[in-house]
Amino acid sequence: MVSAAVLFLLTVGSVCLADRQLVYVTVLFRHGDRSPVRAYPTDPHQESDWPQGFGQLSQEGMRQHFDLGHFLRSRYRVFLNESYDRREISVRSTDYDRTLMSAEANLAGLYPPAGQQVFTQDLKWQPIPVHTVPQREERLLSYPLGDCPRYKQLMNETEHTEEFINVTTMYQDIIELVKNETGLNDTTVENVWSVYDTLFCESRHNMTAPDWVTPDVMEKLRVLKDFGFQVTFGFYKLQEKSRLQGGILLGEIVKNLSKMAVPDPKRRIKMMMLSAHDTTVAALQSSLNVFNGRQPPYASCQIIELYRDDNGSASVSLFYRNDSTVEALPLQLPGCALDCPLEDFVRITKPSISDDRDKECQLPSQGRDKEVIISLVVSGCLLLILIVVLLGVICWQKEPIGSQGYHQVINQEAGEES
């Protein structure tokens, strides 16, 4: 009886799993390994020491994304067509060399050409379009956006919180060390984060570090770097920060999920691939309230999968791949199951998505000033109309009785003179 019951449950479970069909996937990843974005003044390694200069994808970064493409091919081998189909996948990147090249390397691993798609026998690669917009116009994949006065105010408030002051006080010796050793005149916490990034890139490429850069110093700088992500997207007024930053991308993703949940036999798109930065991944995860407080590593990948059941209901599953040696780890949206019903996913994420970001970005004083100006304009117009009406009434009251006859006399006289 026990074995029969177990067999029955397994059969039912298999049927339930079979009824749940993957219909759409959003993949957001950070670019691969790169050269540093800049050097500090006393850095012994300047831009000329890097083959392609600052901020460029390295060959290791290319391999990382080629491997990530292989991972995605393995994960979605049944879901995606084996050969590239432009109607199945859309790819967008920020307008940086390293993100564009990461997307291209990823696609090389995801869609190795076969059959008619081979255009040169010795080349296991095919061109696949990657779309972008000029960086000055980027509002979806590049964070934090600097066009929001309210967000800048929130960041200023964050830097006056007890937690921020305690952490920066605790690591004041490291901040002073960086100031003394790097030649930076103004050593802010942001500068310290930048110096860590430079040293980290150099260490990954086996460049000799200055004597002051010990393992202990690097670990403390790493802690400060992670704290920087928490400051930017995290602990203080998290939800409001999300509405002004990562919530923009989350809103677009939620809109696409809701659209894709409705069956449409004419629709063939299955995957949206987004190639961006560590700050993009952190901003999106913060808006979902699943950010772990650590800088997303190279080629880290946030996956959002949409499933539809035979009964018409839809659900969303989150996965995060931040280590190439393990499978993507499931993430649980707070307040929902691992397989989160779409309607619950939309409800839970709604507070992190702004309906009018431009309005929310205004400072409270700016909003009041605008209202005052509008009120003054309206009041002035009403006052002007009132004055015109009053003048008209006064003029009408002053007009002599029988004035029509008087005008006729003048007309008669005028006629006689002519």
Q: Is residue 407 among the annotated active site residues? A: no
Q: Are 283 and 290 in contact (CB under 8 A)?
A: no
Return the closest-CA partner of residue 127 out of 82, 184, 86, 96: 86
Which residue in 33, 43, 197, 278 is the catalytic one?
A: 278
Peptide bond into 341 cis (omega under 30): no
Q: Is residue 31 among the annotated active site residues? A: yes
Which residue in 19, 31, 216, 369 is the catalytic one?
A: 31
Q: Are 284 and 251 in contact (CB under 8 A)?
A: no
Q: Are 316 and 304 in contact (CB under 8 A)?
A: yes
Question: The tokens of 350 are what?
Answer: 């709604």
Question: The tokens of 20 are what?
Answer: 């749940």
DSSP string across 148-202 = -HHHHHHHHHHTTSHHHHHHHHHTHHHHHHHHHHH--SS--HHHHHHHHHHHHHH
Question: The tokens of 46 are what?
Answer: 């300047």
C-alpha 210/C-alpha 304 separation (Å) is 42
What does DSSP say about strands 329-331 and 314-321: parallel, antiparallel, or unpaired? antiparallel
C-alpha 316/C-alpha 283 separation (Å) is 19
Q: 331 has which bridge partners?
A: 318
Question: The tokens of 82 are what?
Answer: 């084996």
Query: Which positions are catalytic?
Result: 31, 278
